[in-house]
Amino acid sequence: MKPRLTDRASLKRYAWLSIAAAIATIALKAGAYLLTGSVGLLSDAMESFVNLVGAMMALTMLAVAARPADEEHAYGHGKAEYFSSGVEGTLIVIAAISIAVAAVERLIVPRQIEQVGLGLAVSIVASFVNLAVAVVLDKTGKRYQSVSLEANARHLMTDVWTSVGVVIGVGAVALTGWQRLDPIVAILVAANIVRSGVAVVRRSVLGLMDTVIPAEDLEQVRKSLDSYVEKGVQFHALRTRQAGARRFVEIHVIVPGKWTVHRGHRLLEQIEADIRQRVPNVTIFTHLESSDDPASWEDVDLDRQAGVSQTNGGTDK
């Protein structure tokens, strides 16, 4: 059973968990950097600081997204989460640039790494903290369809892989004595962070641009409509969009002109109920049209605007 949107008010506690993890890992990784002087570990600590800012932004936007619809926001506040993930993605990219700059400087002027064993041990502990929190946030984000928590989880997992790379780099320096391995690893880490940040920003932009609902949800809508097509009901102008966890589906339903308003309305109610059973957190708008009225076929351009093939009497239009 998918959770209801009304359950989402409790998601703020997961943002607080992310904040606590970020503070803990900043302290641990900063300590590791002070012990070793490794620019790779410094880059790791800087990314954890970005985690903290992102988690605080997520907390704020989750609170906004949980607000009920009102007169000024009749469709709710779900899109607020896209601002959170967009900001976090941007911060990730900025952190990567800062890491790259510090690494290039260290590449030009290498520095001896000290107390490698203790520094790496501290960094590994911080990584396990991030890993545990990332798993919790990812599972919760997917369950509640929260882009904020999913973005935060992805960032934390990037931090984990970053730490793995840094540990390998610093360990390689200790084994080979080649000091430039440390900044080289930091540059590679920065490139990986950029990739993750761009992916997070892209998802946020797509959400704000009213992108269609996920393919699996759209397929469920089609399956529901197909069951009515077999009974002679026709459809067109199917359009969908997603705003945070909320999905929106619009569809024109075409029935014989001799039907009564009461019969047509009951059909629409049944169609909407069937789609709600298949797709979580969905708002459905249906428009009843008569197959005997030529005006019913004048809005077929909506099919093309939707960018998806539509069902009409069992054939694609």
Give the total number of structural domains in the chain: 2
3-state secondary structure of 15: helix
Q: What angle do CA 274, 279, 284 make, to 5 degrees?
A: 65
Do residues 89 and 146 touch, judged by C-beta distance below 8 A?
Answer: no
Q: What is the pLDDT of residue 269?
A: 94
Amino acid present at 156: L
Domain that holds residue 108: 5-208
pLDDT in tens, 215-273: 889 999 999 998 888 878 899 888 898 877 778 899 999 999 889 999 999 999 999 99
* Whether residue 279 is found in the same domain as residue 169: no
Task: Classify residue 151 as exposed, middle or buried by CB count within 10 Å of its CB (0-12, 13-18, 19+).
Answer: buried
Answer with the one of 169, 189, 208 that is the final residue of a domain: 208
Mean predicted confidence (pLDDT) in 36-53: 72
* Whether residue 53 is found in the same domain as residue 178: yes
Q: How many angstroms separate the CA atoms of 63 and 169, rounded? A: 40
Give me the phi and psi of 61, to 5 degrees please: -70, -30
* Whether residue 127 is found in the same domain as residue 237: no
**Local confidence band at 55 (pLDDT 50, 70, 90 cut-offs):** confident
State the Cα torsion 165-170-175-176 to the nearest 10°.
90
* Whether residue 157 is found in the same domain as residue 271: no
* DSSP secondary structure, 194-216, as one string: HHHHHHHHHHHHHHHTTPPPPHH
Mean predicted confidence (pLDDT) in 179-187: 76
Q: What is the pLDDT of residue 9?
A: 59
* Whether residue 46 is found in the same domain as residue 127: yes
Closest CA to 110 of 205, 40, 53: 40
Task: Give me the residue label for tokens 């590679």.
Answer: 188
Mean predicted confidence (pLDDT) in 181-192: 77
* Whether residue 194 is found in the same domain as residue 249: no
- Which is more confident, 74 or 302? 74
- Beta-strand runs (E) in 21-141: none
* Whether residue 103 is found in the same domain as residue 39: yes
* Whether residue 202 is found in the same domain as residue 269: no
For residues 74-91, one letter each, b for 16 or more C-beta atoms within 10 angstroms of the residue's C-beta and e for the rest, the string is eebbbbbbbbbbbbbbbb
Give first-to-last CA distance, the chain, whole Å. 34
**Local confidence band at 274 (pLDDT 50, 70, 90 cut-offs):** very high
Do residues 182 and 39 touch, judged by C-beta distance below 8 A?
Answer: yes
* Whether residue 184 is found in the same domain as residue 293: no
**Local confidence band at 300 (pLDDT 50, 70, 90 cut-offs):** low
Q: What angle do CA 71, 73, 74 make, to 5 degrees?
A: 70
Closest CA to 204 of 153, 251, 264, 244: 244
* Whether residue 141 is found in the same domain as residue 57: yes
For residues 31-50, one letter each, b for 16 or more C-beta atoms within 10 angstroms of the residue's C-beta and e for the rest, the string is bbbebbbbbbbbbbbbbbbb
- Which is more confident, 22 or 167? 22
Answer with the one of 208, 223, 243 that is the final residue of a domain: 208
Q: How many angstroms separate the CA atoms of 81 and 241, rounded? A: 15
* Whether residue 44 is found in the same domain as residue 152: yes
- The CATH number that applies at residue 194 is 1.20.1510.10
pLDDT at residue 314 above 50? no
Q: What is the pLDDT of residue 311?
A: 43
* Whether residue 102 is found in the same domain as residue 157: yes
Answer with the one of 177, 208, 239 that is the final residue of a domain: 208
Q: How many angstroms separate the CA atoms of 59 and 14, rounded? A: 8
- The CATH number that applies at residue 271 is 3.30.70.1350
Going by their DSSP bridges, the two strands 282-290 and 246-255 should be labelled as parallel
